[in-house]
Amino acid sequence: MSERLQRTLDMLAKHHRDGEKFVEMMKQGFAERFNDRFWQEWSDWIVPVFGTRPVVLDLGTGPGMFLHALADRHPGIRAIGVECAPYMLDALNDLPEGCEIISADLHEPKLPLADASVDAALASVVLHELNQPLRALQEMQRCLKPGGRLFILDWVRAPLETYIQAQTEEARVFDHATSVDELDDLFVHFIEHNRFSREDLIYLLNMSGFSVVHSRIMKSGRYAQIIAERR
Ligand SMILES: C[S@@+](CC[C@H](N)C(=O)[O-])C[C@H]1O[C@@H](n2cnc3c(N)ncnc32)[C@H](O)[C@@H]1O
């Protein structure tokens, strides 16, 4: 294993806390993240750019729930998940026909895909987990066909008060009896979940060969959805 991948896995192990539990958390939260509104927006913004046999990438696919949903909704699709965490790769079994996995580190992805061969890509709650998202965005710019679209969903910067009130019990945070470990964990995650603003992401996209066609803020300012088109 390369030193870089080992660094990525060490960082993810801290961020995900317990790999097995995190797999379950991703499965349980799937229906809420990918609710009717998400699928309506997927239909409005992404499906119109599909070719006859669409190829779709799912960056940081986790346990692959989105790949299953794509195969159900779009028969004939080629749906490719990209992932590197071993506990996620282990959970990616029984994928339906048309689905596959590329094991790669999104910090420096060199995906075995031809230039302009992908119709659309999803990055759901993954960019904030990267030390830098530029190489992943540049690789999407290479792989997507001109006019292909990238759908981003992620945490964005919010005031600490908003974050704490949504994330945990406020009284517990300010209770002198709360352990330092728990406080460290909360404040480290606050920084990780507050890495970029929506405007930061739009700037990175513009500079990486994308034009943003739609964006909105969600969850009281803590989350953003951005749809960008490969120029
Ligand atoms: C918060 S989970 C979201 C999973 C899935 N996209 C979803 O919304 O259900 C983020 C996923 O991205 C993966 N990930 C984070 N950094 C990565 C990297 N550098 N390379 C590949 N995958 C990465 C994690 O292992 C994890 O499975």
Please work out whether the CB of residue 88 comes within 6 Å of at least one atom of ligand 1.
Answer: yes
Mutation test of ligand 1: which of 56, 61, 111, 129 has the most ligand atoms closer than 8 Å to its C-beta?
A: 129
State mean pLDDT over 207-215: 98
Mutation test of ligand 1: which of 10, 11, 12, 111 has the most ligand atoms closer than 8 Å to its C-beta?
A: 12
Indicate if the pLDDT at residue 106 is higher than 90: yes
Q: Do 84 and 35 belong to one domain?
A: yes
> Residue 171 C-alpha to ligand 1 middle, in angstroms?
31
Instruction: Please write the tens of the pLDDT for every residue from 173-182.
Output: 999 999 999 9
Supply the CATH number for residue 52's domain.
Answer: 3.40.50.150
Q: Do 17 and 33 belong to one domain?
A: yes
Q: Do 99 and 186 belong to one domain?
A: no
Please work out whether the CB of residue 57 comes within 6 Å of at least one atom of ligand 1.
Answer: no
Please state the domain count of the chain: 2
Q: What is the domain extent for residue 55?
A: 3-158+197-230
Please work out whether the CB of residue 124 comes within 6 Å of at least one atom of ligand 1.
Answer: yes
Q: Do 168 and 85 belong to one domain?
A: no
State mean pLDDT over 23-29: 96
> Residue 58 C-alpha to ligand 1 middle, in angstroms?
9
Q: Do 187 and 129 belong to one domain?
A: no
Q: Do 146 and 202 belong to one domain?
A: yes
Q: Do 122 and 166 belong to one domain?
A: no
Q: Do 46 and 21 belong to one domain?
A: yes
Q: Do 9 and 111 belong to one domain?
A: yes
Beta strand spans in the chain (E): 55-59, 78-83, 99-103, 118-124, 144-155, 210-218, 223-230
The torsion angles phi and psi of 204, rounded to 5 degrees, stand at -60, -40
Please state at what angle helix 3-16 crosses helix 19-33, rounded to 10 degrees: 70
Instruction: Please write the tens of the pLDDT for every residue from 159-199.
Output: 999 999 999 999 999 999 999 999 999 999 999 999 999 99
Q: Do 164 and 67 belong to one domain?
A: no
Q: Do 57 and 148 belong to one domain?
A: yes
